[in-house]
Amino acid sequence: MDDYLKYYDSERYLFEDVHQRFHANHFLDAFDFFTIIIWKANRAKSKIARRMLKENLPGDRNLEARCRALTQALHDAPTPKERMRVLIKEWGFALPMASAILTVCWPDEFTVYDYRVRDLLKDLPKLTEGGDFEKTWKLFEEYKAGVIKLVPDKSLRDKDRYLSGQSRACQLRGDIQKSFIKSDELPATH
């Protein structure tokens, strides 16, 4: 019988159970893989599942086989850059989701690319989709360096958490100040 309490705290489940299982088995099953997807962006799970079932990808054409093939390829990739390349170039993931998957598997090497955190880093260019991988990798390295510099004396994973928390708190303060009214919803003044 499953202990469903462990699924309540998805981040703890991911960075303890899933992380350990990945390194023990050298792959993830579909349940653990899609737990990462849902943690990063629940709205993306169906789109990612459809993309993973396309004919030109390795493994039998079912989600379980594809998740195992993908995560086995990640495990076998010799460098962080190659791991990122597998996700982006071979499997078609965007940098935010690719970085989340890699962060769960290698939390000391990767940080989750998040646009809200990027906005806290000054002078970092915005990500352009469909660009070449070398530019994406360079942007990710600059982003990671910015995260490391901005929050000293914490693990890379705690730097992620800190900056995400800072961004959410700032957004909430701003929303409260504007009474949660968007600028395009304000009444016209004469």
DSSP 3: -
Look at residue 187 and tell me if it is in a domain. no
DSSP 88: I
pLDDT in tens, 151-163: 999 999 999 999 9
pTM above 0.85, yes or no: yes
Question: Are 2 and 89 members of one domain?
Answer: yes
Domain boundary among 91, 110, 129: 110
- pLDDT one digit per residue (tens) for the chain, 190 residues: 578 888 899 999 999 999 999 999 999 999 999 999 999 999 999 999 999 998 787 778 899 999 999 999 999 999 999 999 999 999 999 999 999 999 999 999 999 999 889 888 887 877 766 678 999 999 999 999 999 999 999 999 999 999 999 999 999 999 999 999 987 766 666 5
Its domain, for residue 120, covers: 115-176
Contact 69, 59 (CB under 8 A): yes
Residue 109's nearest CA partner among 134, 64, 78 is 78
Question: Are 81 and 6 members of one domain?
Answer: yes
Question: Are 123 and 35 members of one domain?
Answer: no
Domain boundary among 110, 128, 149: 110
For 9, 56, 57, 63, 69, the CA distances from 60, given in Å and listed in that order, are 32, 11, 9, 8, 9
Look at residue 186 and tell me if it is in a domain. no
